[in-house]
Copies of this chain bind each other. A is one copy, B any other.
């Protein structure tokens, strides 16, 4: 069996600048935040992403499919269902997949107007979390 990664990932840091603030118009240099997901396995990965906030109950799940042997750089900016991600608001995310994947968190911030980048491999959770019934 092919297994590379984990089924649970957490990203405590999340923040989308107010509006699409950017000195760089639209496109690749617009401020954005992404969960880069690698599914190196031979089965499609069905992800459920839940967002956590400072002052209200979690929102989700947001459904994302990453096909077998593919990567998908999921932009939180693009989320619409069940609701868009609020701007200028601290949030965090938990990603649950039905097959192992690898997740890296990246933000490109172009408010300045110069570009700033951050990135880190997300935190891989143990499968005991799945016993929760998610």
C-alpha spacing A72/B14, complex, angstroms: 11
Cβ–Cβ contact A71 & B57, under 8 A:
no
Cβ–Cβ contact A119 & B120, under 8 A:
yes
C-alpha spacing A111/B26, complex, angstroms: 15
Protomer copies: 4
Determine the chain B residues whose CB is within 8 A of the CB of A102 once the complex forms. 10, 12, 92, 123, 125
Determine the chain B residues whose CB is within 8 A of the CB of A29 once the complex forms. 111-112
Answer yes or no: A126 CB below 8 A from chain B CBs: yes
Determine the chain B residues whose CB is within 8 A of the CB of A1 once the complex forms. 128, 131-132
Determine the chain B residues whose CB is within 8 A of the CB of A17 once the complex forms. 28
Answer yes or no: A97 CB below 8 A from chain B CBs: no
